[in-house]
Structure 1
């Protein structure tokens, strides 16, 4: 069973390297281009689909066994899913690069078929387990939002090719972004964290009540955000979305504090510590955005602030969390795959020997510094700071993923 998760995670690592190597090749200058351009679409989908979603899918195939104590409904469907999703995203990315709308449409169809296979496979596993709690409910909601994200992406891909809904395209795009970023990633990360954080901290006895608050508030933020995107006249509800998200993050932070309070381990690892810091940073950013929305609503709707918010959320929280969890998941998968049947024998390394905590910390610090410089440059309209920050971020990301990938040589 470990081969399927490793296949997705290894492919995601390769896409991550491609993204940041390409970023360094342009010295970070690509970040100055308009995000809604063929090159911008290519880079965003390479990072979001071929890295973050690919790794998340691999993690789900592994962690579903931990959460439910049962295997995935069909391992064979997992491989079929991989073929459709990977092949579809490759065609989609090529279509963006070459500005070929027919490639975009074909790639979107194949990728969505892969997504729907994944949703069916995991959803069927959840249904048969019949163990409904905040973890499984969050996972189910995340799967629903992923399917809707894919279907809206498919609708936009077909619209590129056949121009069916020209006037509605912008609204579809906004809903696509809300569902994918806040819905799929947000609920999957928080949902699985209810299980993983107590494991990393060796924590027992923390209350599960905040999990229900987080689930309700996060879903409300997603649904209100989608409504504000699709329903004419609802665009002014964005402040409500931000406030709901801030409340969900506050409850999430309280849960983390309670888990730490009941911890029997001094540290869960530097990668996990960084995920906690990033959650608190995102909460601060939400409160700042809410204040700006009250004082200067036009600034909150500006392209500059939207781009900054995208970087803070997708890189500052989603990417940091995925990378932090990879520092634990990848060594576990590889050690179990390679040494699981040799445990306790002379010369067999322990899991902590597979990855350097010091190097994990160094990589995170470099990425954080690069992101802060880039975001400050975007806010103060300083192109050199943006370019420098993105270049530093990409350099740190390549170093970090090298630390993670080196696990496979141990």
Structure 2
């Protein structure tokens, strides 16, 4: 594929390590809060401050933090350049971490000053990361670079829209300056963030990472990557305008188009489920397969929304399956390869002959990785099975929490070793 890490495109640990550390700590924090958030969830209080805090800690603290760290290493490797500014990356990481902490705590405690401060810090920090990635992405390059460029650029645009609207909504809580327009801003905020940023990024990056990590054939050439980009754009626009203008038929059309784009991607990458020898099975493979299955379930749910969407439990179910199933399993799967790759090359690349230097395959404790995967997904699948019927979910939330803590602890060990 003509893509490899070199001394010139390897980003130092000090620049991107904080993104990964903060993301893992945020997910561990979410794990601690999950059993407590199960109480208002069971009561149908889906806009409870604790639930909103958990959602934003998952989306920003976990998802965006790991994504920004990964992007600022992947862009130099894929596009054959060096990172635009290592110090800008480091400054952005710390600003982002502080901003998310303020925002989430302000949301949980309903402290408008902290909420606004956190939103503005997140806005500035994300801006630094966007500058870094865009300035790093050289024109032309390998087929992989050409394939993922429209996905990455689109995702970065939607991330900028998301944080701008998020800051506007945070200020609105204190000043009520949006008036009735807050509903349109909220619809665009959720569509741009959950679909525009995450779906565009995860699907696009997966087209590169799946063959790069051997989950699909090395010479894998997708058939539908361009239609997927176009359909995602169309679906996001319909979701945002339909939700903001009170046109449910347009919003549903957007959900169907987005769901179709996800299903098209899953068909394009179906080789992920090809039989593999037992010795080649790795937690990453299972995480990614599970992510694809959760994604298919969310897509089916989005299509069925007109019949089930009036039920608040179903909407909450879609959110759980999307955030903690599709998104979190994709992040955990890829992170089990990205993090040891990044840390090993920074710490041990030129010390392979020294005693005590771990091999690449031993950077992550595989037994702990399997345990975390099993506990987390057993809890999540159980929760998704009983939640629509109003049954108690606390036990399953505890199981999820234990799995998430094992997984994050194992990956933090990789980062700190």
Distance, in Å, in 1 between the alignment partners of 2:255 and 2:284 is: 27
Cα pair 2:52 2:107 within 8 Å, conserved: yes
Alpha-carbon spacing, 1:259–1:323, altered in 2? closer, same or farther (3 Å):
closer
> Matched residue of 2:84: which SS?
coil
Equivalent residues of 2:240, 2:251 under 8 A apart: no
Q: Return the alpha-carbon distance in structure 2 between the equivalents of residues 35 and 162 of structure 1.
A: 24
Q: Distance in 2 between matches of 1:364 and 1:94?
A: 28
- 1:200–1:268 CA contact under 8 A, matched in 2: no
Report matched runs for 1:3-402 at 5 Å. 3=13, 4-24=15-35, 26=36, 28-32=38-42, 34-126=45-137, 128-131=138-141, 133-201=146-214, 203-233=217-247, 235-258=248-271, 267=280, 269-291=282-304, 293=306, 296=307, 299-345=308-354, 347-382=356-391, 384=392, 386-402=393-409
Which deviations, in whole Å up to 9, do the C-alpha atoms of 1:135-157 show, x marking residues without a partner? 01100000000000001101101
- Indicate conservation of the 8 Å contact 1:172/1:229, yes or no: no
CA distance in 2, matches of 1:83, 1:236: 42
Contact preservation (8 Å) 2:222, 2:269: no
Separation in structure 2 between the aligned mates of residue 145 and residue 292 of structure 1, nearest angstrom: 24
After TM superposition, give the deviation of residue 186 of structure 1 in Å. 1.0
- How many residue pairs get aligned? The number is 401
Unaligned runs of at least 5 residues, structure 1: none
Deviation at 1:267, TM superposition (A): 3.6
Cα distance change on mapping 1:99 and 1:135 into 2, 3 Å = same
Deviations 1:81-137 (A, max 9, x none): 2233222222222322332212212221121111122212212222x4455623011
- Give the direction of change, closer, same or farther, for the CA distance of 1:285–1:104 in structure 2 (3 Å limit): closer
Distance 1:238 1:276, change over 3 A: farther
Given the alignment of the two structures, is residue 2 of structure 1 paired with residue 2 of structure 2, yes or no? no
Does the CA-based 8 Å contact 1:109-1:154 persist in structure 2?
A: yes
Q: Give the Cα separation in 1 of the matches to 2:344 and 2:238.
A: 43
Mapped partners of 2:170, 2:159: distance in 1: 16
* Alignment CA distance shift 1:85-1:281 (3 Å): closer
Distance 1:23 1:261 in 2: 34
Confirm or deny: 8 A CA contact 1:205 1:262 kept in the other structure. Answer: no
* Residues 383, 397 of structure 2: 8 Å contact kept: yes
Query: TM-score under structure 1 normalisation?
Result: 0.90
Cα distance in 1 for residues equivalent to 2:132 and 2:46: 34
Structure 2 segments unaligned to the other structure (5+ residues): 1-10
Rounded to whole Å, the distance in 1 between the matches of 2:229 and 2:280 is 26
Decide which structure has greater helix share. 1
Secondary structure of the residue aligned to 2:92 is helix
Deviates more, 1:61-70 or 1:248-257: 248-257
Q: CA deviation at 1:261?
A: 7.1
Larger deviation, residues 97-106 vs 395-404: 97-106
